Amino acid sequence: MLSIGKECMALRSRMAARTITRAYDAALKPIGLRITQFTVLACIATELTNSISGLADYMAVERTTLTRNLQLLEKKGLIKIFDEGYRRSRQMRLTDQGRAKLDAAIPLWQNAQDELKEKMGQDEWNMVSAGLSMLTKSV
C-alpha cells in the first residue's frame, strides 16, 4: 500500500519548508525579523518589481497575504508604501531604517544558509535547489 507520509510531495515539502523556516527564523531572531519579512525586504531592495501585485507574483504569494505583511513592515518603519505609480499600482521602497535592518540581517541569513548547506552537503543542496527552481517555473 502507498505510504502517503513517505511519498506525498505536498506533505514532504511542507515538512521541509517548516524545518527550513525555523532555521532561518532562529538565525534572524536577534534582530527581530522573520524569514518572511527578510525575503520581502530583500526583494524590495533589489527592485525586482515596481508594484505590490508584481512582487506577489514573483514571490508566489497571495496579494492579500503580501499586503498584510507589507503593512506590518511599514508600521515598523522598514518600508514606505506609495499610492501613486504606473496604472495606479502601489509601490514600495525601503526606508533608511529598513536598509539598515536588511544590512544587519544579511550575515545572519548567510550563516543560516551556510549551516543548512553544510547539513545537506553541496551536491544535495544544488540538486534540491535546481529541483525547486524547476518546480516553481513550471507552475
Report pLDDT digits (tens) over 1-51. Answer: 568 878 898 999 999 999 999 999 999 999 999 999 999 999 999 977 778
Looking at domain 18-108, its CATH architecture is Orthogonal Bundle (1.10)
Least confident of 10-24, 48-62, 63-77: 48-62
Do the beta carbons of residue 81 and residue 92 sit within 8 Å? Answer: yes
Neighbours of 66 (CB within 10 A): 21
- Using the CB atoms, write b or e for 116-137: b if 16+ within 10 Å: beeeeeeeeeeeeeeeeeeeee
> Domain residue spans in the chain?
18-108
Please report, rounded to a whole number, the percentage of residues in the chain having pLDDT higher than 90: 69
pLDDT bucket at 111, cuts 50 / 70 / 90: very high
Supply the pTM of this predicted model: 0.87
* Separation CA 131–CA 124 (nearest Å): 10
The mean pLDDT of the chain is 90
Cell 506577489 belongs to 56
Residue 89's pLDDT is what?
Answer: 67
